[in-house]
Structure 1
Amino acid sequence: MKIVGGSARGRIIEAPPGRNTRPTSAVLREALFGILSGTVPQARVLDLFCGSGAIALEAISRGAKQAVLIDADAKAIQTASKNCKALRMDEQCRIYRNDFEKALRILKRKGEQFDFVYVDPPYQGGLYEAALKGLFPSLVAEGGVVVLEHAATDEMPFLPPICKKGRTRVYGTRAITFYTGAEEHEDRGFPRQL
């Protein structure tokens, strides 16, 4: 795998070992960061179910200020840590091995907020709604965006009192769906690119 844009463009990163890993493709990452080009510079990023850390590292390469990477899998955390160090981004990254629900509670207690959150849980795990409920409203900064990666055949939840669902974009067998805080769009509507 390679970083596809920014200051680390072309640099190689590793994927966690094992058959059950499915790193986010370069095509999907390029499309995602094209859509979010105005959101990423100076952003605080949360990469939930981070795997290799590719999304967080791509964001930092493109100007994000800092990133928090979370995964429950020890091999994923080792790989993400190794990738952060190899790209000399370890000072901008905080990496935690933890169950996502516990990690989100800890981040809430610390008063953390994020401008860009990427959520890539196991596709068949049914974790999408729980992740959104754990993130909104307290962990997503005003104007922030949450992106869920999922199987293209999966229908993503509508949670109107908590957040507003934007577009779903499909890339082969995978898709990404955008969410923002519900209160932010009562008057001005959803941003066009999302």
Structure 2
Amino acid sequence: MDGVYMRVITGKAKGKKLYSPKDDRVRPTSDKIKQSFFNIIDSLIKDSVFIDCFSGTGAIGIEALSRGAKEVYFIDNNKESVLLIKKNLNTTDLNSMGNIIEMNVEDAISNLSKENVIADIIFMDPPYALDIIPSIIKQISKNNILSQDGIIVAEHDKKYIPEETILDYQISNKRVYGNTTMTYYKRLNL
């Protein structure tokens, strides 16, 4: 395995090692953060449709599949990341439930909407230097690809101050882990 050591924490593919990039262009989510995230969303995972935006290695989406998600859409526009996701899906024997979309996130969301995909969980871990979280949430809202009770989770630098409310979504939870924050958005009860 290349680069940083990563593994699937629990479920069908528990303990399987995942490939990571040889360089630092992808910042994998640590096992501690990944475990906390999945503990929080545990009741939503079984038979869910999960979208992993800015997938990188695919580790988050693969963990979701391992824990019982019905289907995961991996979105990344980097060719090396797409190859890593394919390798990791193959090594975990979860490739039949994973859909890889090689394009930018905004276009992928629009395409998923045209295919009538409705997600239960949308996870995004964009490059920390990009201030893109609000525009992605607006795209999700505009295309109506999240179920009524679904959640959006954004991983970002703790220095980044997320907007409390973005269109019809508002922050429902926030967790800080060192320099990383996970912000959870739910639909406003109008």
**In 2, Cα distance between equivalents of 1:18 and 1:66:** 29
Does 14-23 or 164-173 show the bigger shift?
14-23
Q: Report what 1:45 is aligned to.
A: 50
Any conservation in 2 of the 1:5–1:30 contact (CA below 8 Å)?
A: no
Superposed displacement of residue 17, structure 1? 3.2
Describe the SS at the equivalent of 2:170: strand
Q: Report what 1:25 is aligned to.
A: 30
**2:90 maps to which of 85, 90, 111:** 85
TM-score (norm 2): 0.93
Describe the SS at the equivalent of 1:111: coil
**In 2, Cα distance between equivalents of 1:141 and 1:17:** 37
**In 1, Cα distance between equivalents of 2:182 and 2:160:** 10
**1:5 maps to which of 10, 29, 34:** 10
Deviations 1:28-73 (A, max 9, x none): 0100011111000111000000001011100111111010000011
Any conservation in 1 of the 2:141–2:167 contact (CA below 8 Å)?
A: no
Does 157-166 or 6-15 show the bigger shift?
157-166
**2:63 maps to which of 32, 35, 58:** 58
**In 1, Cα distance between equivalents of 2:64 and 2:24:** 26
Q: What one-letter code is carried by the residue in structure 1 that aligns with 2:134?
A: E
Deviations 1:104-130 (A, max 9, x none): 111111111100110000111111111
Q: What one-letter code is carried by the residue in structure 2 that aligns with 1:37?
A: D
Q: Report what 1:98 is aligned to.
A: 103
Q: What one-letter code is carried by the residue in structure 2 that aligns with 1:44?
A: V
Superposed displacement of residue 21, structure 1? 1.4
Gaps of 5+ in 1: 187-194
Superposed displacement of residue 160, structure 1? 4.7
Identity of aligned residues (%): 26
Q: What one-letter code is carried by the residue in structure 2 that aligns with 1:84?
A: L
**In 2, Cα distance between equivalents of 1:161 and 1:23:** 29
Describe the SS at the equivalent of 2:129: helix
**In 1, Cα distance between equivalents of 2:119 and 2:46:** 13
Any conservation in 1 of the 2:175–2:182 contact (CA below 8 Å)?
A: yes
Superposed displacement of residue 156, structure 1? 0.9
Any conservation in 2 of the 1:136–1:181 contact (CA below 8 Å)?
A: no
Determine if the alignment matches structure 1 residue 173 to structure 2 residue 179: yes
Determine if the alignment matches structure 1 residue 34 to structure 2 residue 51: no
Q: What one-letter code is carried by the residue in structure 2 that aligns with 1:123?
A: Y
**In 1, Cα distance between equivalents of 2:98 and 2:182:** 24
**In 2, Cα distance between equivalents of 1:13 and 1:161:** 37
**In 2, Cα distance between equivalents of 1:160 and 1:145:** 13
Q: Report what 2:3 is aligned to.
A: none
